[in-house]
Chain A
């Protein structure tokens, strides 16, 4: 298998590296210093910038681009099942852009960009169900602010992506409607809860997509599917129109096949919104200036950037392949000029139970709105409480019911101090630990998940095993910090290896630094460009 395996790109920097500690990839025995010149497979290119260039130069039209994406969706969707709904307006939207261009009018920065939107983000007149039966057929009367911004900038919403019901899950198996497959290996999960958004970008069914991240729901599927996932700082992006799960943790995040794409999408949706009082008035910097071309990199383009590797994230329970890919990524950063140190976050392992207490508690409160009265599916009954109970009983899936009940328990009179309050005190400890680590480092790094994608059904009936997979990501939500996940290597598994993601965590509102470091990291890795085997002809 290994002979056909594209080597993890970071490996190219290091001599005699072993994959899984088993077989030597002899071809990699080359120089131990970073090589910044053009590699055999050129580094991944921004789809957003390429679209803009080709539209404005007249090389192609938005309609042609849209058609090619729709035909790829038709081709791959029967196997992948990334979308719960594909828009009927894609070609109409594309034609409008073409007409504007032919009239010589200005078009927005996302003109013609084909965008998937997670199904818990409201799209006017288009089904938005959060993959729940209780909202089956629901069409919201408004666009979420993030969607509104995308449309104003010319972006084309191609459809609504599958997810774990209301964001509660790590595999997308908890969707009420379908199970999404991982494009790297159809027998494996794409991760979750934004599994549809991640898999759709990996399979090039759309250029970029929106997801949401409450405890890792953008970053873990990005890792499993070999794409870039960006979780912004809490408050960076308006959540108006995002169906609330755990309000103290939820953020809207971005997927792309390159760091630049994820960053440009984030720029498009960021900023204060009067409809979301938790959105921040902090300036949104022009991230695009970070995405310089490789030709202008210096020999040590990240010279002096202080990187802290979180010790607790490489301990027992983490797959050896993931561990070595992370260590190799750390070495790659070092070779680019970063100063690497190991940091400890003593509160790290407390984050997981604290997260699940907080998320369950807040969900039990937030999901009380789904009662079958004002929208969604109603089960008729002769008495109001029965109507609530039956509508919710039939509308919610097993995992959602479980989390609501756990949250109800944790918030019960007499238990609040022992669970919810205590979890919030732990959140204070976690925040302090991150603050201390980020005072001494520009960014922190860790794996994005303890393993690569696992098999469909593998953890379905074991909630604690499933929750354990969130250990790398939940603390970042508790601290409200931004983080980016980008593919850094492959481990053995599936027909041609499984991607592994590196997580970079930054200080609050410093997405700029993450994007800069991420972009240079990505552009200087050699190799396949992380294209899943089912798409051999896609760049």
Chain B
């Protein structure tokens, strides 16, 4: 089974070895097993102290999701555990590394930014829960804030 050993696989992030090391296999089937670099770690050791723990109620408010107290109680430890695990990224040396926003691809595929008529308007309208002539109907927007 997939184990936690995999999750903790980064260990202390050994200095990056750029490039690949390859060695030709003998066809004798058995691979030379590298000494495993996987070190089990406790999950509380990743998080950088300057990053505070998530406040679930606050996040839920920001994300506009209502949560029941029971849901908060259930997901809070899970979210903290995962975010703590994210913390291992802090140990990677990314000096002078450009972020990649997605896979490399050609540019110039944008179409002209001009409105076009969609034929099946009635079908779009049929999906709208509350509708009045050409307007979406929602409750009042102004509130005490």
- Chain A positions within 8 Å of B, measured between CB atoms, are 14, 124-125, 138-142, 233-235, 247-249, 272, 274, 277-282, 308-309, 311, 314-319, 327-328, 330-331, 334, 339-347, 349-350, 352-354, 356-357, 364, 368, 371-378, 380-390, 392-394, 396, 398, 401-402, 404-406, 408-410, 412, 415, 418-419, 421-429, 431-433, 436-437, 440, 449-451, 454, 463-465, 467-469, 471, 479-481, 508
- Chain B positions within 8 Å of A, measured between CB atoms, are 1-7, 9-10, 13, 16-25, 27, 29-31, 34, 36-38, 43, 48, 51, 54, 56, 59-60, 62-68, 71, 74-75, 78-79, 81-83, 85-86, 88-90, 92, 94, 97-106, 109-111, 118, 120, 123-124, 126-130, 136, 138-141, 143
Q: What residues of chain A lie closer than 8 Å to B88, measured between beta carbons?
A: 350, 353
Verify A341–B51 contact, CB threshold 8 A.
Answer: no
The docked-state distance in angstroms from the alpha carbon of A432 to that of B126 is 48
Q: What residues of chain A lie closer than 8 Å to B56, measured between beta carbons?
A: 405
Verify B86–A410 contact, CB threshold 8 A.
Answer: yes
Residue from A314, A371, A451 within 8 A of B64 (CB atoms): A371
Residue from A309, A334, A374, A402 within 8 A of B27 (CB atoms): A334
The docked-state distance in angstroms from the alpha carbon of A479 to that of B111 is 26
Verify A341–B71 contact, CB threshold 8 A.
Answer: no
Verify B38–A315 contact, CB threshold 8 A.
Answer: yes
Interface centre among B7, B106, B120 (most CB of A within 10 A): B7
Q: What residues of chain B lie closer than 8 Å to A347, measured between beta carbons?
A: 16
Instruction: Give the shortest distance, in Å, between B106 (CB) and chain A (any CB).
Output: 7
Residue from A139, A449, A464 within 8 A of B85 (CB atoms): A464
Seed contacts A272-B109, A378-B129, A386-B66; 17 additional CB < 8 Å A-B pairs:
A139-B123, A233-B103, A234-B103, A278-B109, A315-B34, A315-B36, A319-B1, A347-B16, A352-B9, A382-B140, A405-B60, A426-B92, A426-B94, A436-B18, A450-B1, A450-B3, A450-B6
The docked-state distance in angstroms from the alpha carbon of A167 to that of B56 is 23
Q: With A141-B124, A401-B65 in contact, do A352 and B51 touch (Cβ < 8 Å)?
A: no
Q: What residues of chain A lie closer than 8 Å to B139, measured between beta carbons?
A: 380-384, 386-387
The docked-state distance in angstroms from the alpha carbon of A428 to that of B82 is 22
Query: Across the two chains, which residue of chain B brings its CB closest to A392?
Result: B65
The docked-state distance in angstroms from the alpha carbon of A234 to that of B105 is 8
Verify A423–B89 contact, CB threshold 8 A.
Answer: yes
Instruction: Give the shortest distance, in Å, between A238 (CB) and chain B (any CB).
Output: 11
Complex A-B: 14 CB contacts under 8 Å: A124-B120, A141-B120, A141-B127, A376-B129, A385-B64, A386-B139, A402-B75, A402-B79, A404-B65, A423-B89, A426-B89, A454-B1, A465-B2, A471-B6
Instruction: Give the shortest distance, in Å, between A474 (CB) and chain B (any CB).
Output: 11
Q: What residues of chain B lie closer than 8 Å to A247, measured between beta carbons?
A: 102
